[in-house]
Amino acid sequence: MTWNVFKYCSILRALGSVMILLVLGIICVSYYAVVVANYGPALFDGGLDSITAFVVLSLFHFLLAMLLWSYFSVVITDPGGVPPNWIPTPDEERGDDPLVGSEDGINLSSNQSAMHGKRTNPGIRFCQKCNRFKPPRCHHCSVCGRCILKMDHHCVWVVNCVGALNYKYFLLFLFYTFLETGLVTVSLLPVFIPFFTDEEIHGTPGSLVATFITFVLNLAFVLSIMGFLIMHISLVKRNTTTIEAFEKKTTPKWHYDLGWKLNFQQVFGKKKNYWFIPAYSEDDLERVAWIKGLEYPTRPYSDDL
């Protein structure tokens, strides 16, 4: 019998709030260890130590600001839900009307009539739990209790689903977290090594404990996030999601794979000056339809998928 974690959806929702506090707690401990206990005082030592401290603190605060901006953008941004009364549009290229054969032809308001239309056209995707049609690449989230556009996964760390409208912000959160934890690990390494040597260790017991814990935590995070980030870069390159990769085991004929450049633009937009910030330009939001998560261009030779 397969264990289904989504059976405990209410527990996962409650856990998410705790995880936000945990993230902020780790940030606070790291801030104390890097800024207050070590590199803040080193600013006034003079010479090379002051220059090193200035560089480390500047990078630390910049990456921290970008990390928090990206993180809370994922938390507060709706990942994208199916609009009320949304129905599939006819496939103009094939001349197919997805609602041909349905009882009322246009507005399928009941489960029975919707399923009748689905039987007529197997290409129609319908959610039994939400009792509505599902756009392409849309999946039902048992934790959120609704269908999410281009759903990647439900993340307890951000108390939210990762979907079409906040996937870019999630990737930037991973990216800046990787850089920040890497910086903290490298900057605290000279302070961490004396714990295992005969060198004299300077600092109060509290600062030493905070430094030790911060180094271990950030080292663990940078290694784990590196693998996670590499995986998502691979997914973006192939224009697929975690769910799609798991369910369909994508092949070179994956019909949403338009080449790495267009695949990248589907997530990050076309404006280069917006690629590394958790926001989209107004031009992208108005003209790039796939950012809204309801329609995606496909390869013309992908009829078999």
What's the pLDDT at 75?
Answer: 94
What's the pLDDT at 101?
Answer: 41
Q: Is 90 left (phi over 0), alpha (psi -120 to 50) or beta?
A: beta
What's the pLDDT at 8?
Answer: 52
Neighbours of 232 (CB within 10 A): 20
What's the pLDDT at 11?
Answer: 61
Q: Which residues are catalytic?
A: 155
pTM confidence score: 0.85
What is the DSSP annotation of the chain?
Answer: ----GGGGHHHHHHHHHHHHHHHHHHHHHHHIIIIIIIIHHHTTS-HHHHHHHHHHHHHHHHHHHHHHHHHHHHHHS---BPPTT--PPPBTTTTB-TTTTSSSSS---SHHHHHHHHHH-TT--EETTTTEE--TT-EEETTTTEEETT--EEETTTTEEE-TTTHHHHHHHHHHHHHHHHHHHHHHHHHHGGGGSSS---S-HHHHHHHHHHHHHHHHHHHHHHHHHHHHHHHHHHT--HHHHHHH---TT-TT---HHHHHHHHH-S-GGGTTSS---HHHHHH-GGGGTS-----TT-TT-
pLDDT means over runs of 10, the chain (305 residues): 50 71 94 95 89 96 98 95 84 46 40 45 77 91 90 91 95 98 96 85 87 96 96 94 79 78 92 94 79 80 45
What's the pLDDT at 248?
Answer: 67
Q: How far apart are CA 233 and CA 4, in angstroms?
A: 28
